[in-house]
Amino acid sequence: MESLIRAARRTLATFFGLGFFPIAPGTLTSFVVILLYKILAVDRVSLAWPVAAVGVLFVVGGLAAEGYARELNQRDPGRIVVDEACGQLIALVGLRAAWQPLLVSFVLFRGLDILKPNPIRKLELLPWGWGIMADDVAAGLVAGLLTHGLFLILP
153: pLDDT confidence band, cut at 50, 70 and 90? Answer: confident
Global confidence as pTM: 0.94
CA 121 to CA 152: how far, in whole Å? 28
Q: pLDDT for 104-118, tens place per residue?
A: 999 999 999 999 999
Report the domain count for the chain.
Answer: 1
**Domain of residue 57, residue span:** 2-153
Q: pLDDT for 71-98, tens place per residue?
A: 999 989 999 999 999 999 999 999 988 9
Q: Please classify residue 119 by burial: count the beta carbons closer than 10 Å to its beta carbon, then call 0-12 exposed, 13-18 middle and 19+ buried.
A: exposed
Is pLDDT at 6 greater than 70 in this prediction? yes
Q: Please classify residue 29 by burial: count the beta carbons closer than 10 Å to its beta carbon, then call 0-12 exposed, 13-18 middle and 19+ buried.
A: buried
